[in-house]
Amino acid sequence: MHTKSKSLNVGPYFYSSCKVEVFNIKPDPAQSKKLFDFEEDKIFKDSYILESDYVPEILVGRDEEIRAVSEIFYPLLRKGKPGHAFIYGPPGSGKTVVIKHVLRHLYSEAGYSINLKYVSILCKKYSTTTKILAFLIKELGYPKTLPKSGVSSGFFYDLFFAFLKESGHSLTLVFDEIDFLKDDDVLYNFSRSGEFKELNERQFIQIIGVSNTGQFVNSLDPRVDSSMQRETIIFPPYNKVQLIHILNSRVPLAFYPDVVFKGTVELCAEESARDEGDARRAIFLLQTAGNIAIKTKCENVQPGHVMMAIQKIKEDVSLQFVLNMTYHEKFVLLAMLNTEKYLKKGKFIVTGDIYRVYADMCRFGEEEPLSLAAISQKVSKFKMMGIINANKSSRGRGGLTSEIIFVGDPDQLAKAIYQDGPFVKFLIYKPNLKKIFSVQVW
C-alpha cells in the first residue's frame, strides 16, 4: 500500500511533521480488516488516569483542604458522629476529589469498624425531596418498584428511614451542586433524624453540601442552618504552577514515555489558570489534545494539539448550547448566521443588519417579529454562552451597536439548528437585499 506524507502545521506550536495517509489504491476486499486497530496507538498507556472519576493517591496543592475535610470525620474514630459541612470553590478546584480521597483513607485506615455508606446526590438531577428520597431508597438496595405518583413525600420518608434502620448503615450524603436543591426541608429532616428517633442508636446521616458559590447558604432557612451546626470549607482556585504539577503527576501514568511535550503541559495549565484555575479543564484539554494527536497520526502530543483542542471544546460547548436553546433563540441565532453568510462573509456583523435579516426571515416564515431590544438581549446571552464575541462600537448619530464575530464554526452551528424540524424550511431561504436595507432600524 503506497502512502504520501503531508506536514500538518498550526503556527509555531508543531515541532515535527505528522503523517496523513492518502491512499492511492483501494484495499483488497479479500483481506481481513480490523475495525479497531490499536497497534499503532502509542499515545495513551492508560487513558482512565485522565477521567473525571479517577482519584490519585497524592493530591497536589490541597493539603489544608484535605486536613479540613478530614477533621469533620475525626469523631468517627472516637465512636462519635461526624460533623456536617458546606464546601465552596470554583469548578475544578478539587472539592469532590478531596472528599473521595479522604473517604478512601478513612475506609482503609479505620477498617470494618466504620459502618458508613457514602452516596453522592446530583442536585441538578435530583432537586426535590421526593426525587432525593426515591434515589436514596434505590441506592440502599430496596428491591421493589417505587410508585411514581399518587403518594406524598411522607410515604418516601417513612420507607427510607425504615429501610435505613434495617440496613444498619450510617450515611454520608454529598449534595453535589446543592444550589439546585428546591426544598431545604430535606436537610433539616436528615440532620435531626437522630433526635426524631428515626434511626437506630449511634446511627447517623451526615450532610456535606458542595457548591461553586456561597450563595446557597444565604437563602438557607435559619432553622435548617441552626440544626446542621455545619463547618464551612472554602477551596481556592489552582494556580498555573499547581496545574502543571497536577498534569505532570498524571502524564507518566496516562501516556507512553516521551510522548507529551513539556510545552504541551504548560499550555494546558496556562489556559486553565485563566479559566478560574479549573483542574478538570486542564486534564480534559490534555486528554483531547492526545486524541487529536492520534487522529492526525502524530507520534507526540504537541502544543499545537492543545490549540486545536481548545477550538474543538469551544465548538462542542457551543453546539450543546444550541441544541438546548428555545425556538426564538435559535431563530435569532439563525438570523445572525444568515447575516454573516449573505451580507458580510468572514467579517464582523452588527446588530442593525442582524435585525434587518431577522425581520426578513420573519416575513419568509410568517413569524411575529420581536423588538430590536429583545434581539439585543439574545445577542448578549449568546456572548455569555461563548458562541460569539461582541464588542460595542459607536456609530455616530446611530448610537452604539455590537460588532459580532462567531467563536465556533458557523456551519456547525447552523447544522445544529436545522436538527430542529421547524427550521428546515429556512434551508432554502435567501434574504431579499433590496427589501432588508429598506427596513428602518434606528
Ramachandran quadrant class, 286 (left: phi over 0; alpha: psi -120 to 50; beta: rest): alpha
CATH hierarchy code of domain 11-52+239-320: 1.10.8.60
Given CATH 1.10.10.10, say whether it is the number of domain 325-436.
yes
pLDDT band at 343 (very low <50, low <70, confident <90, very high): confident
Q: Average pLDDT in the 38-43 region?
A: 70
Domain-wise residue ranges, the chain = 11-52+239-320, 63-234, 325-436
pLDDT per residue over 82-109, tens digit each? 999 999 999 999 999 999 999 999 988 8
Q: Average pLDDT in the 172-192 region?
A: 91
pLDDT per residue over 115-167, tens digit each? 899 999 999 899 999 999 999 999 999 999 999 888 889 999 999 999 999 99
Out of 66-75, 311-320, 408-417, the most confident range is 66-75
Q: Average pLDDT in the 59-80 region?
A: 93
pLDDT per residue over 355-377, tens digit each? 989 999 999 999 898 888 899 88
For 130, the enclosing helix (H) or strand (E) is helix 129-139
pLDDT of 347 > 80? The answer is: no
Q: What are the DSSP calls for 316-338, one per residue?
A: HHHHHHHHT--HHHHHHHHHHHH
Task: Quote the mean pLDDT of the chain.
Answer: 85
Regarding pTM above 0.75, the answer is: no
Residue 66 confidence (pLDDT) = 96
Q: Which CATH number fits domain 63-234: 3.40.50.880, 3.10.129.10, 3.40.50.300, 3.60.20.10?
A: 3.40.50.300
C-alpha 17/C-alpha 54 separation (Å) is: 33
pLDDT of 30 > 70? The answer is: no
